[in-house]
Amino acid sequence: MDFAFSEEQEMLRRSARDFLAKECSSKVVRKLMESSDTYDEGLWKKVAGLGWTALGIRKSTGAWARFSTWS
């Protein structure tokens, strides 16, 4: 069995690593954890803009377009 990432998975992994390093440092995470509101609307919009909210939805369902642009 080959457990290596596919080219597409590797691209997503790199993209996620780069995005989170830039937008979600440990300082940001700690601030959110210490806050009563652990939701950052701006960060969520950026995540949605990348299409990550739709990763588990097949395009064939027709719902992919709606969830990939959530904001």
What is the structure's pLDDT at 19? 95
**Predicted confidence pLDDT, tens digits, the chain (71 residues):** 889 989 988 999 999 999 999 999 999 999 989 988 878 899 999 999 988 887 776 666 665 555 545 44
The whole-model pTM stands at 0.66
Give the residue among 52, 59, 8 at the shortest CA–CA distance from 69: 52
Q: Report how far residue 24's alpha carbon sits from residue 32's, in angstroms, rounded to the nearest whole number.
A: 10
What is the structure's pLDDT at 71? 47
